[in-house]
């Protein structure tokens, strides 16, 4: 409970800050080996590696685009800006992006300790909660996966909001509440899952802040024997106080629904309520089980996975049954248990899929990042209460609990190191996932893509076929089936099996007529097969649906040129250069077409820019010489035309 002490951290603020720094350093040290990991082919390309918003680094244009564009179904401008800053500081080197993730996790670890300490005044318990939270193996996915920057960044702002709220509760003022509001706003701009923060703050009002009447206060300890109406009325000021935060939550919830529209799995919302609730309970049991026994972790879980067995659910229940049982017989533990478990469930709510789900993951390690704070709080306070009330054996119990905590943390560190090695690269990640869950169609698909890029085509084809086989009999939408057929077609084409590849591309387009990659591959196959006119229809359809598709435009340029449509080819190439002005190859192709159109001066202008962009671009010097020669000839013709005799030979 917050008291009237002068320093919001307690009597020894220096010691508190030092402890926070040490806890942050521990978290940093455990996850620092992540800097040796690379990018993985699991969202890293969409967010960073192939994202033009990030590749250019931090700039005025980049800041504007980060604030106005949706990336991969997410509007998270602060997350994109953090990627841009990394690109400016480290270039497109993965170690820099990993280092930032680790530092952000370390910062949130220290800030969480300060926030909890300022509210509870229990340094040892807070340190235990923070260490269990920060080092649990379920953290690995959020910290080591570059694409999950939004997790670690939003957590920093969540902990800042908690620190600001503790200061506000000590001495309420508009400026201090403004600090809470700004921290929540920044957190939502990093990841919208912070929409649950106002409800979490209400739980903290119940305990440990004790800002209103509590049902856990013994009747004989109350100042007056309040009725339930009086009890509920004491909460109204707290609800009204948080209306701006609830308003912010509503705004970001609406933004999330709009930007995630394409990824929202509406089939989940269409299922019977009982089935959705059953799957949500199964997800909660999964989280509890892997909190207790963190093995077999991987990032690709799907809603068609089987429900946990009754035995697994029983084991999972121990995580909450033990604290609840302690709370029933030890009144001192009740507030912490109720608030901790309440925090766990409220923070999980956006990911449970009761109303619908973004993507197909019913549960994921990363979804526990914020919820685990509450769960660890409930467990630590329950054990600490038992220890404190052990009478003459209190000191022995305390030593036993400390030894058990140390052993548990050492176990976590060993598992963390193993998990970090799994994220070393795409091949290690997907190989592990396939081994952990052989029927996972997405894991087989991604592993196949990695093998194809490496050139191991037979194994890649086998993985794609296993992916299609895993989809059979399951409610997998046509879009995902189409993607796998297209990938199999590419592997077959690269292996020289053109006829089989064409069949796979046709199947992919039949399943999903909007599959741009399948349509693009069909067009390329038609060009190679000597049918450019038919290919032109495919590329034109792609450009019509998306005028900013560079691959479709490039193929449209080439196909028009093959058909002798020079004007149309030039127009498409100018559109392509406008779309990608810093690509030397695009400029060189436009220069070549301009030479064909007898515009050598314009060609020279494009080649000069291309040379600045990439002086070593293959063939650029020969093309430049050709353009200069054509320009000189053009000037000579122009000079002849301007002579009084019209350039005619002299009379004899």
**73-126 confidence digits (pLDDT tens):** 789 999 999 999 999 999 999 999 999 999 999 999 999 999 999 999 999 999
In the predicted structure, residue 569 carries a pLDDT above the cut 80 = yes
Q: Which two tokens stand for residue 287?
A: 């989280």
Question: Is the sign of the CA dihedral 571, 576, 581, 587 positive or negative?
Answer: negative
Q: 173 has which bridge partners?
A: none
Determine contact, residues 198/187, Cβ cutoff 8 Å: no
Provide the pLDDT for residue 78.
97
Q: Which two tokens stand for residue 12?
A: 């020894």
**21-69 confidence digits (pLDDT tens):** 999 999 999 999 999 999 999 899 989 998 989 988 999 989 999 999 9
CA dihedral 87, 88, 91, 93 (to 10 degrees): -40
List all residues 6 or more positions away from 102 whose beta carbon is below 8 Å from its beta carbon: 28, 31, 32, 34, 35, 143
pLDDT band at 636 (very low <50, low <70, confident <90, very high): low
Q: What span, in angstroms and rounded, lies between the C-alpha atoms of 232 and 335?
A: 17
pLDDT band at 222 (very low <50, low <70, confident <90, very high): very low
**227-264 confidence digits (pLDDT tens):** 566 667 778 899 999 999 999 999 999 998 888 755 55
pLDDT band at 392 (very low <50, low <70, confident <90, very high): low
In the predicted structure, residue 595 carries a pLDDT above the cut 50 = yes
**191-207 confidence digits (pLDDT tens):** 999 999 999 999 999 99
DSSP letter at 649? P
Q: How far, rounded to the nearest angstrom, does the alpha carbon of residue 161 sit from its chain's CA centroid? A: 22
Local structure of 468: helix, strand or coil: helix
In the predicted structure, residue 567 carries a pLDDT above the cut 50 = yes
In the predicted structure, residue 481 carries a pLDDT above the cut 90 = yes
Q: Where are the alpha helices (DSSP H) in 32-93?
A: 44, 52-55, 60-68, 77-90
**400-417 confidence digits (pLDDT tens):** 889 999 999 999 999 999
List of long-range contacts for 277-280, beta carbons under 8 Å, 24+ apart: 277/354, 278/307, 279/303, 279/307, 279/353, 279/362, 280/352, 280/353, 280/354
Provide the pLDDT for residue 588.
92
Question: For the chain, which domains are there?
Answer: 13-212+239-422 (no CATH), 429-581 (1.25.40.10), 582-642 (no CATH)
pLDDT band at 651 (very low <50, low <70, confident <90, very high): very low
* Cα atoms in the Cβ-side hemisphere of radius 13 Å centred on 400: 11
pLDDT band at 221 (very low <50, low <70, confident <90, very high): very low
Residue written as token pair 């929202």: 264
Across 521-531, average pLDDT: 93
In the predicted structure, residue 5 carries a pLDDT above the cut 80 = no
In the predicted structure, residue 9 carries a pLDDT above the cut 80 = no
Q: What span, in angstroms and rounded, lies between the C-alpha atoms of 343 and 556?
A: 55
* Cα atoms in the Cβ-side hemisphere of radius 13 Å centred on 349: 14
Provide the pLDDT for residue 419.
96
In the predicted structure, residue 4 carries a pLDDT above the cut 60 = no
pLDDT band at 393 (very low <50, low <70, confident <90, very high): low
């Amino acid at each position: 409970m917050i008291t009237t002490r002068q320093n919001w951290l307690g009597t020894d603020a220096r010691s508190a800050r030092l402890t926070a720094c040490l806890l942050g350093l521990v978290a940093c040290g455990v996850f620092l080996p992540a800097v040796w990991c690379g990018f993985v082919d699991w969202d890293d390309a969409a967010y960073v590696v192939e994202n033009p918003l990030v590749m250019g680094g931090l700039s005025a244009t980049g800041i504007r685009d980060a604030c106005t564009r949706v990336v991969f179904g997410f509007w998270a401008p602060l997350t994109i800006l953090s990627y841009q800053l990394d690109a400016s500081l480290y270039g497109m080197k993965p170690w820099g992006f990993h280092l930032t993730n680790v530092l952000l996790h370390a910062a949130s670890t220290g800030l969480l300790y300060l926030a909890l300490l300022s509210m509870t005044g229990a340094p040892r318990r807070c340190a235990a909660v923070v260490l269990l939270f920060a080092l649990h193996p379920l953290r690995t996915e959020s910290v080591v996966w570059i694409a999950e920057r939004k997790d670690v960044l939003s957590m920093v702002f969540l902990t800042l909001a908690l620190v600001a709220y503790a200061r506000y509760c000590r001495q309420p003022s508009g400026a201090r509440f403004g600090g809470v509001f700004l921290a929540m706003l920044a957190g939502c701009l990093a990841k919208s899952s912070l929409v649950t923060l106002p409800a979490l703050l209400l739980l903290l009002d119940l305990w440990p802040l004790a800002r209103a009447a509590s049902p856990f206060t013994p009747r004989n300890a109350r100042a007056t024997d309040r009725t339930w109406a009086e009890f509920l009325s004491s909460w109204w000021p707290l609800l009204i106080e948080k209306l701006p935060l609830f308003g912010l939550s509503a705004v970001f919830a609406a933004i999330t629904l709009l930007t995630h529209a394409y990824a929202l799995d509406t089939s989940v919302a269409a299922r019977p309520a009982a089935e959705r609730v059953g799957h949500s309970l199964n997800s909660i049991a999964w989280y509890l089980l892997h909190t207790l026994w963190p093995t077999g972790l991987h990032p690709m879980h799907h809603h068609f996975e089987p429900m946990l067995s009754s035995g697994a659910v029983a084991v999972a229940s121990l995580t909450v049954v033990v604290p609840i049982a302690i709370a029933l017989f030890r009144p001192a533990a009740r507030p912490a248990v109720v608030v901790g478990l309440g925090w766990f469930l409220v923070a999980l709510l956006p990911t449970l899929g009761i109303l619908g789900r973004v993507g197909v993951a019913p549960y994921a390690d990363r979804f526990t990042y914020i919820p685990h704070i509450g769960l660890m709080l409930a467990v630590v306070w329950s054990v600490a209460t038992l220890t404190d009330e052990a009478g003459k054996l209190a000191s022995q119990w305390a030593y036993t609990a400390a030894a058990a905590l140390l052993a548990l943390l050492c176990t976590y560190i060993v598992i963390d190191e193993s998990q970090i090695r799994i994220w070393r690269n795409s091949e290690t990640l997907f190989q592990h996932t396939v081994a952990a869950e052989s029927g996972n169609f997405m894991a087989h698909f991604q592993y196949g893509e990695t093998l194809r890029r490496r050139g191991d085509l037979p194994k890649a084809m086998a993985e794609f076929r296993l992916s299609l086989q895993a989809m059979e009999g399951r409610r997998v939408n046509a879009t995902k089936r189409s993607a796998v057929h297209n990938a199999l077609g590419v592997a077959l084409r690269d292996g020289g099996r053109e006829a089989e590849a064409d069949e796979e591309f046709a199947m992919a387009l039949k399943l999903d007529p909007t599959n741009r990659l399948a349509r693009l591959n069909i067009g390329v196959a038609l060009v190679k097969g000597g049918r450019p006119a038919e290919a032109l229809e495919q590329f034109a359809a792609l450009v019509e649906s998306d005028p900013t598709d560079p691959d479709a435009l490039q193929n449209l340029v080439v196909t028009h040129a093959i058909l002798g449509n020079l004007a149309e080819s030039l127009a498409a190439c100018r559109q392509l250069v406008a779309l990608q002005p810093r690509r030397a190859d695009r400029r060189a192709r436009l220069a070549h077409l301009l030479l064909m159109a007898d515009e050598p001066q314009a060609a020279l202008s494009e080649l000069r820019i291309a040379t600045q962009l990439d002086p070593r671009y293959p063939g650029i010097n020969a093309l430049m010489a050709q353009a200069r020669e054509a320009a000189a000839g053009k000037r000579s013709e122009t000079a002849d035309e301007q002579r009084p005799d019209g350039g005619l030979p002299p009379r004899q």
